[in-house]
A and B are shown apart, each in its own frame.
Chain A
Amino acid sequence: MLRRMTTTAFGILCFLSFIVPVPLLAWLDKPKGGR
C-alpha cells in the first residue's frame, strides 16, 4: 500500500515537474514589447 502510494506520488511529481515550468519559460522567452 505504502509502495503504491509512493509510486503514485512519484508519477504525479514527475508529471507536474515537466508541465509547470512550461508556461513560465515560454513567457520569459517572449520578445520584449511582444504580446
Chain B
Amino acid sequence: MYAGHFAAGLALKAKEPNTPTWALLLGVGVLDLLFGILLVAGIERATITPGIAPGFSLDFIDWSHSLLMSLAWAALYAAFFVRKRGLAVAAVCGFAVFSHFLLDFLMHPGDLALWPYSNAHIGLGIWRLFPTGWWVFELAFIVLCSAYYLARAKTLKTFGGRGFLAVGVVVLLHVTNSPWLSPAH
C-alpha cells in the first residue's frame, strides 16, 4: 500500500484535529522511511520482480515492518510528542505509525514477520491474490478516508482549507502507483 497510508493520515487528522498534520502524514510513512534507509544500508533485502504483482518481493523487512518492531517504532515516535503535545496527541501519532502495519497486513503476501528473525510471517496477500484488483481495493479505502476527512473539514473548519486538493494529490499518487502506470509493475 502506498497512497492509502496518506489517506489514513488524513482520516486520523479528521478524527483528532488537534494533532499536527505533518506528524500524522510523516507517521504513517515511518515504517517505509526506515525500510528505504535499511534497504540502502543492506540491512533489509528486496528483489524487483517485473510482471509479478506488486513488482517487487520483500525478502527481509523484519527490522522496519515486523509486528514487534512496528509497535516499537510507534512507541518511539509517540514518545517524541509526549512532552510538547501531551499523551493524547502522542498516542494518535503512535497509532499513525502502527496503522502502516495494519494496512500492510491486508496487502502483503505473508512477508511481515512477528518479530525480527521470527519464522512466522503474516499478511493476507491482497497484492498477490488480486494482481490488479488490489489497486481498486486501495482506491476504495482512499475514497472512504477522503470522504470522512472532507466531511469533518467542512464541519469543523479548523483544517482542510484546501482539502479537495489534498485528496486530489493522494489520488494522483495512487494513480502513479497503478499496475498500469508504475514502472515497478
Please report A residues at the B interface, Cβ cutoff 8 Å: 3, 6-8, 10-19, 21-34
Q: What is the CA–CA distance of A22 and B159 in the complex, to the nearest angstrom?
A: 15
Residue of A with least CB distance to B161: A32
Point out the residue from B5, B26, B35, B161 that lies within 8 Å of A29, measured CB to CB. Answer: B161
Point out the residue from B37, B45, B161, B166 that lies within 8 Å of A25, measured CB to CB. Answer: B166
Q: What is the CA–CA distance of A29 and B167 in the complex, to the nearest angstrom?
A: 10
CB distance A28 to B166 under 8 Å?
yes
- Taking A28-B165, A29-B21 as contacts, is the C-beta distance between A21 and B6 under 8 angstroms? yes
CB distance A28 to B25 under 8 Å?
no
Please report B residues at the A interface, Cβ cutoff 8 Å: 2, 5-6, 9-10, 13, 20-22, 25-26, 29, 32-33, 35-40, 45-48, 56, 157-163, 165-166, 169-170, 173, 184
Q: Specify which chain B residues have a CB less than 8 angstroms from the CB of A17 in the assembled complex.
A: 2, 32, 173
- Taking A10-B56, A21-B173, A25-B170 as contacts, is the C-beta distance between A15 and B21 under 8 angstroms? no
Q: Specify which chain A residues have a CB less than 8 angstroms from the CB of B184 in the assembled complex.
A: 10
Greatest chain B CB density within 10 A among A3, A26, A34 is at A26
Residue of A with least CB distance to B38: A11
5 residue pairs A–B, Cβ–Cβ below 8 Å: A8-B40, A12-B40, A19-B26, A19-B33, A29-B166
Q: By DSSP majority rule, is chain B's interface helix, strand, loop, or mixed? A: helix
- 18 extra interface residue pairs, beta carbon distance < 8 Å, beyond A22-B29, A29-B160: A6-B48, A10-B56, A11-B36, A15-B40, A17-B32, A18-B36, A21-B25, A21-B169, A22-B22, A26-B22, A28-B162, A28-B165, A29-B13, A30-B161, A31-B158, A31-B161, A32-B162, A34-B161
- Taking A7-B46, A28-B169 as contacts, is the C-beta distance between A18 and B32 under 8 angstroms? yes
Q: What is the CA–CA distance of A25 and B157 in the complex, to the nearest angstrom?
A: 16
CB distance A23 to B22 under 8 Å?
yes
Q: Specify which chain B residues have a CB less than 8 angstroms from the CB of A14 in the assembled complex.
A: 32, 35-36, 39
Point out the residue from A10, A16, A29 that lies within 8 Å of B159, measured CB to CB. Answer: A29
